[in-house]
Amino acid sequence: MADGDAEAEALWYVGPGRAEIRRERLSPLADGMVRVRALHGAISRGTESLIAAGKVPASEYQRMRGPYMGGNFPFPVKYGYATVGRVEAGSDALLGRTVFGLHPHQTYFDLPVEAAVPVPPEVPASRAVMAANMETALNATWDASPLPSGAIAIVGAGVVGALTGFLCARVPGAEVTLIDVNPAREELARALGLHFATPDSAPADCELVVHSSATAAGLATAINIAGDEATIVELSWYGAGIVPVPLGGAFHSRRLRIVSSQVGKVAPSRRATTSHRQRLELAIELLADPRLDALLTPVVPFLDLPERLPDIFNRQNGVLCPLIAYP
């Protein structure tokens, strides 16, 4: 299995609501590549649920391609971008190292050496699967530019929302409230050192609001709780959906701003000094805090994924970051 021909198993989305494990053969390892045996992975519930449902807009087919995606939208596609594994062949410098790769869900895979990002010893492989989520949250925080001593609200306590709140709370004097319709998320907020509120009890006049619930109701809440001349960072991605935005009432008189944030490009404030690789390395380093284990849900065996995905994608089940364990 080291560096000759090898057989791997990969998860493919093959139709609306349908996925399967497919066997595929890896070619002999090429120069400049490393072969990785997967240890853990994670499902990105927001993005992958839209892909599994076939809801990627045709206009976004190219931009939504993952770095090592297989197939083509809408189906069949091999998709994912959160796999942590151990290097078994290739670069001597990386041999035996635990690395993160933006690779689909697959038992063995090859990566260019520069795309295999070493995981520091202080970050467990299981927690490192959130590197892509943390990278998105980090980019959103750069886009948001939170100021010290400000009231900050995060609407939507999913993984990216919670991580964004976690990062914003590092700003001196910031008062960060995690807002979600599920009152059980209060336990998560406390674990991360954040305040919590449901939409009905959300704080008003926030200087900064980050919206990550991917719902029209959540976006309305974000607009309603923003203070005068506040910024609302829209971090949700709706796929092919059309979402109503309540721009009536006092939206204009309060001079609110809605700013999009997306991880595909480094935030403008850091683009001149920070590469994609450097941003990802920093995101992995930020996962050293053990409190972040609160985001990981019970382990799902890789081979059980096709059967378990419908429940994982169910918005009502309370799942945060589904952790994949490879055989």
User: For the chain, what are the domain ranges?
Assistant: 6-129+289-325, 133-260
How much is the pLDDT for 232?
A: 97
State the Cα–Cα distance between residues 109 and 120, nearest whole angstrom: 21
Per-residue pLDDT of 273-289, as tens digits, reads 999 999 999 999 999 99
How much is the pLDDT for 148?
A: 86
* Coil/strand/helix, residue 234: strand
Three-state secondary structure readout of 253-304:
CCCCEEEECCCCCCCCCCCCCCCHHHHHHHHHHHHHCHHHHHHEEEEEEHHH
State the Cα–Cα distance between residues 51 and 70, nearest whole angstrom: 13
State the Cα–Cα distance between residues 232 and 222, nearest whole angstrom: 7
Please give the radius of gyration of the chain, using alpha carbons only, rounded to the nearest integer.
20
Using an 8 Å Cβ cutoff, are 290 and 130 in contact? no
How much is the pLDDT for 4?
A: 59
State the Cα–Cα distance between residues 147 and 9, nearest whole angstrom: 47
How much is the pLDDT for 2?
A: 55
DSSP letter at 106 equals B
How much is the pLDDT for 46?
A: 82
Using an 8 Å Cβ cutoff, are 90 and 109 in contact? no
State the Cα–Cα distance between residues 176 and 167, nearest whole angstrom: 10
Q: Which CATH number fits domain 6-129+289-325: 3.20.20.140, 3.90.226.10, 3.90.180.10, 3.40.50.360?
A: 3.90.180.10
Task: Say which CATH superfamily domain 133-260 falls into.
Answer: NAD(P)-binding Rossmann-like Domain (3.40.50.720)
Angle at 103 between CA 157 and CA 46, to 5 degrees: 25
How much is the pLDDT for 149?
A: 81
Calculate the alpha carbon distances from 239 to 56, 120, 143, 219, 252 in Å. 5, 34, 21, 15, 27
State the Cα–Cα distance between residues 213 and 48, nearest whole angstrom: 15
Those residues of the chain that have pLDDT short of 50 are none
Tokens 């619930």 found at: 213
Q: For 239, left (φ over 0), alpha (ψ -120 to 50), or beta? A: left
